[in-house]
Amino acid sequence: MSLQRFEITETRPTPLLSDFEIFLGYLRANSISLTPKKLFLKKKYLYELNKKMYFRISRVSENSNQDRYPLLHLFYHLVLSGKLFQIDYRRRSRRVLEPTDRLQLYERLNWTEKYFFLLETFWMDVNWRKLQGGYFGYSPIRHIPWLLDFLSKCQPGKKIQLRKCNVWMDRIFAHTFAFLEYFLLYFAYFGFWHATLENPSYGNDVPKRWCQPESIRPTKFGVMMASILKEARPILSWNLPYRREIDQHRIFPDNIIPTEYFFLGNGEEDYKLPDNRPSSKRTDNPKEPFFKAFTPLFPEHVLRQTLSRDTTQFEDGIYTFKVALGRKIWRRIKIAADNTLEDLHLIIQEAFSFDNAHLYSFFLDGVRWSFDRISCPEEGEGISADEVQIGELGLSIGQDILYLFDYGDEWCFSVQLEHVDKKKFGSNQPQIVARRGESPPQYG
pLDDT at 271 exceeding the cut of 80 = no
**Distance of alpha carbon 289 from its chain centroid, rounded?**
19
Q: What is the DSSP letter of 208?
A: T
Q: Please report the pLDDT score of residue 284 as a whole number.
A: 47
Which residues are CB-contacts of 35 (< 8 A; sequence separation ≥ 6)? Answer: 41, 42, 66
pLDDT at 266 exceeding the cut of 80 = no
In sequence order, what are the beta bridge partners of 197?
Answer: 213
Q: What is the DSSP letter of 122?
A: I
Q: Shortest CA distance to 66 belongs to which of 34, 29, 23?
A: 34
Q: Please report the pLDDT score of residue 6 as a whole number.
A: 94
If you average pLDDT over residues 298-319, what whole number do you get?
87
Q: Please report the pLDDT score of residue 202 as a whole number.
A: 45
pLDDT at 252 exceeding the cut of 60 = no
If you average pLDDT over residues 385-403, what whole number do you get?
92
Q: Do the beta carbons of residue 10 and residue 112 sit within 8 Å?
A: no
Best-predicted range by mean pLDDT among 196-205, 225-234, 425-434? 225-234
Q: Please report the pLDDT score of residue 270 as a whole number.
A: 40
Please report, rounded to a whole number, the percentage of residues in the chain having pLDDT higher than 90: 62
For residue 221, give the H/E element and its range: helix 220-232
| DSSP, residue by residue, 398-436 | T-EEEEEE-TTT-EEEEEEEEEEESS--S----EEEEEE
Q: Identify which has the larger pLDDT, 297 or 203.
A: 297
Q: Shortest CA distance to 320 belongs to which of 421, 413, 412, 425?
A: 421
Q: Do the beta carbons of residue 322 and residue 330 sit within 8 Å?
A: yes
Which residues are CB-contacts of 386 (< 8 A; sequence separation ≥ 6)? Answer: 340, 341, 342, 377
Q: Do the beta carbons of residue 419 and residue 397 sit within 8 Å?
A: yes
**Distance of alpha carbon 151 from its chain centroid, rounded?**
23
Q: Shortest CA distance to 331 belongs to which of 442, 431, 443?
A: 431
- Mean pLDDT is lowest, of 103-107, 137-141, 351-355, for 137-141
pLDDT at 19 exceeding the cut of 80 = yes
Report CA Rg, the chain.
Answer: 23
Other CB atoms closer than 10 Å to residue 278's CB: what's the count? 13
Q: Please report the pLDDT score of residue 261 as a whole number.
A: 38
pLDDT band, residue 287 (cuts 50/70/90)? low
Please report, rounded to a whole number, the percentage of residues in the chain having pLDDT higher than 70: 83
pLDDT at 310 exceeding the cut of 60 = yes
Give strand ranges (E) for 95-136: 96-99
Q: Shortest CA distance to 113 belongs to which of 191, 10, 24, 228?
A: 10
Superfamily of domain 318-436: MM3350-like (3.10.290.30)
pLDDT in tens, 332-388: 999 999 999 999 999 999 999 999 999 999 999 888 988 889 999 998 877 899 999
- Mean pLDDT is lowest, of 59-68, 118-127, 419-428, for 419-428
- Can you give the residue ranges of every domain in the chain? 16-297, 318-436
Task: Write down the pTM of the prediction.
Answer: 0.87
If you average pLDDT over residues 424-439, what whole number do you get?
86
| DSSP, residue by residue, 266-291 | TTPPEEE-GGG---TT----TTS-GG
pLDDT at 223 exceeding the cut of 70 = yes
Q: Identify which has the larger pLDDT, 375 or 209.
A: 375
In sequence order, what are the beta bridge partners of 299?
Answer: none
Q: Do the beta carbons of residue 128 and residue 245 sit within 8 Å?
A: no
Q: Please report the pLDDT score of residue 311 as a whole number.
A: 61
